[in-house]
């Protein structure tokens, strides 16, 4: 989802946009499936996009907006996060399969080697006996086993090469996974990584009866700043704020770029009071530095951020926690920005 679309869907006008999308689909006889809904939200939020041009062309031609058409548009224009997830799952399956094959080959080699040793021992024990026929049979089997052992040694060499290749593939898969879970601009965790981490942390907090806190952070007046100075300078500001958040959001905390100019920090095992102190440190550090535009060395002025946090309540769903943190963030914005608000008055007092 693009930053602009995500910003719209996380703003107060989100419900109005959702209703507008449903009305537009009904007007054009489009079934409101999840895929179609996402397509039409993108269409209405960004009428200048390639996706919008495709949908406009479909409307003008009178062509039916079937499920097949929707799936084709989704595959071409919607974000690749789902595909990244499928790639990572396929990579995990591949690694497991290669592990299984490697173990099977190694087991076969060890079994064959043990069998050869047993036959050789049997051969020696029969040398003292006058059992020519038996000895001849064992010698034949021993020769055959020695041949198998030679072949196994060749197989072992090939196995070593294969194991090295598996290690290389694992490293590559880890890089792919890391890339798929990292925001390219800021090197913080991306939205997908954040969503998965929040689900895990909430589940762990519920199981252990431990506290956890979620914070969301937004750069103040970023849109007007971006319009004035341009996207490259806007990216410079985002990277600067992300660097401050990243230092404060060290493990086991997780700091992420939530979308556009918005960030989030998960505080496992930490209450609202600790999170509030950390957010205030971040806010003060961000505003203490006057940035300069790299291309012209012009002063950009001080950058400020607004933040909101919510401490998870026992039994609370992930969505409820996110909504309360968001509400606290909007309270900071309504209160004049450049401040931190909490979802719970008791936590605010702390």
Strand ranges in 68-151 using DSSP code E only, listed in sequence order = none
* 306 vs 340: CA distance, rounded Å: 6
CA 305, chain centre distance (Å) = 25
Active site residue 261: yes
| Residues 282, 287, 291: CA angle, nearest 5 degrees | 120
Distances (CA, A) of 219 to 33, 136, 283, 326: 34, 87, 10, 14
Q: Is 145 in contact with 115 (CB distance < 8 Å)? A: yes
End-to-end CA distance of the chain: 37
Strand partners, 212: 268
SS3 88: helix
**CA–CA dist 161, 166 (Å, integer):** 9
Structure token digits, residue 122: 């049997």
Catalytic residue among 261, 262, 270, 311: 261
Residues annotated as catalytic (active site), given as ranges: 261
């Amino acid at each position: 989802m693009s930053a602009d679309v995500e910003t719209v869907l996380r703003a107060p006008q989100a419900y109005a946009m959702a209703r507008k999308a449903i009305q537009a689909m009904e007007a054009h006889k489009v079934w409101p499936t999840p895929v179609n809904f996402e397509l039409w939200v993108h269409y209405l939020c960004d009428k200048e996009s390639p996706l919008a041009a495709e949908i406009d062309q479909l409307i003008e031609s009178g062509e039916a907006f079937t499920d097949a058409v929707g799936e084709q548009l989704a595959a071409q224009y919607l974000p690749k996060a789902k595909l990244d997830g499928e790639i990572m799952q396929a990579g995990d399956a591949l690694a497991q399969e290669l592990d299984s094959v490697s173990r099977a080959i190694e087991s076969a080699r060890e079994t064959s080697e043990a069998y050869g040793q047993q036959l050789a021992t049997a051969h020696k024990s029969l040398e003292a006996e006058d059992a020519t026929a038996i000895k001849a049979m064992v010698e034949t089997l021993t020769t055959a086993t020695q041949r198998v052992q030679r072949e196994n040694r060749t197989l072992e060499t090939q196995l070593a090469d294969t194991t090295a290749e598996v290690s290389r593939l694992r490293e590559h898969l880890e890089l792919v996974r890391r890339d798929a879970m990292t925001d390219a601009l800021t090197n913080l965790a991306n939205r997908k990584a954040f969503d998965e981490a929040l689900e895990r942390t909430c589940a762990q907090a519920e199981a252990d009866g431990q506290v956890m806190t979620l914070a969301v952070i937004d750069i103040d007046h970023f849109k007007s700043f971006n319009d004035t100075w341009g996207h490259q300078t806007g990216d410079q500001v985002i990277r600067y704020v992300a660097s401050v958040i990243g230092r404060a959001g060290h493990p086991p905390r997780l700091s992420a770029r939530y979308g556009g100019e918005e960030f989030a920090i998960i505080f496992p095992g930490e209450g609202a009071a600790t999170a509030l102190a950390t957010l205030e440190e971040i806010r003060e550090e961000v505003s203490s530095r006057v940035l300069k535009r790299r291309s012209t060395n012009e002063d950009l002025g001080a950058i400020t951020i607004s933040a909101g946090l919510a401490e998870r309540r026992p039994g609370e769903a992930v969505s409820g926690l996110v909504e309360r943190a968001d509400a606290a963030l909007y309270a900071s914005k309504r209160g004049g920005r450049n401040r931190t608000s909490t979802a719970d008055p008791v936590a605010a007092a702390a």
